[in-house]
Structure 1
């Protein structure tokens, strides 16, 4: 069960960072999801997903941003969010928060079981602990 919590100003800043990176780097057919991760010391990293003609080899923005943060020396994470950018043919004029896919839920939890995930929930944007999105995680020792 998800114990949803409202967003803080720091969480809103994280959402804006994800929106900014995808608004700047959006490319139809290449990049339409942006992500931002906040480290436990408050640093924010951003990245976009990598689309591929063969869907199986596409790389989610959450994975890219975690890899980017780790490559820069960050190893402890506090919160993560992903946002989608509208395509030119869509009648939408703003980005929106999206929930992580199952593989990203696994990946995020591999890098910290106390990471908050910002996601749409019951018509609002909320946050919850990643383990609430992945009950009975594979490989869990509990």
Structure 2
């Protein structure tokens, strides 16, 4: 997967989501289990935020990406107005870094993003560099 370089707007989205993560992180809740913030940007430049929501039953937990998409949908945004998505992990003591970093969507979120719009631009790390890829490229063997 090669992807495309980030635009200045993509870089601004990443920085925005890092700010959301700083604001939302709560070290006393689930021992800091909230570790991911996400953002989606619309074609006209509006940004909708989401954060992961932990739960004691894993299936009830929610990733940041669907929360961000849900925020946009709740504001009346159609799927074809959502242009770009990114997720940023907050560093916890047991992580291998002490800096926030862009992370690829989990498997379930990859499916959800591709279902939402297979051409949705998703910012992911590729060989140590941030790149933009279409959501469908995160599912190279999808057959449906």
TM-score calculated relative to the size of structure 2: 0.88
Q: Which residue of 1 aligns with 2:128?
A: 123
Q: Which residue of 1 aligns with 2:68?
A: 65
Q: Which residue of 1 aligns with 2:10?
A: 11
CA distance in 1, matches of 2:128, 2:96: 19
Q: Which residue of 2 aligns with 1:48?
A: 51
CA distance in 1, matches of 2:123, 2:13: 9
Matched, 1:37 2:36: no
CA distance in 2, matches of 1:77, 1:135: 22
Using a 3 Å threshold, how does the CA distance of structure 1 residues 40 and 87 change in structure 2: closer, same or farther?
same
Task: Give SS of 1:113's match.
Answer: coil
Deviations 1:93-135 (A, max 9, x none): 4210000011101111121121111011111111111111113
CA contact (8 A) 2:92 2:98 kept: no
CA distance in 1, matches of 2:135, 2:82: 11
CA contact (8 A) 1:17 1:46 kept: no
Deviations 1:36-90 (A, max 9, x none): 1011222111111101112221100001000011001112211100000112565
Using a 3 Å threshold, how does the CA distance of structure 1 residues 91 and 134 change in structure 2: closer, same or farther?
closer
Q: Which residue of 2 aligns with 1:22?
A: 21
CA distance in 2, matches of 1:80, 1:94: 20
Unmatched runs of 5 consecutive residues or more in structure 2 = none
Identify, as 1 or 2, the structure richer in helix: 2
Q: Which residue of 1 aligns with 2:138?
A: 133
CA distance in 1, matches of 2:95, 2:126: 22
Unmatched runs of 5 consecutive residues or more in structure 1 = none
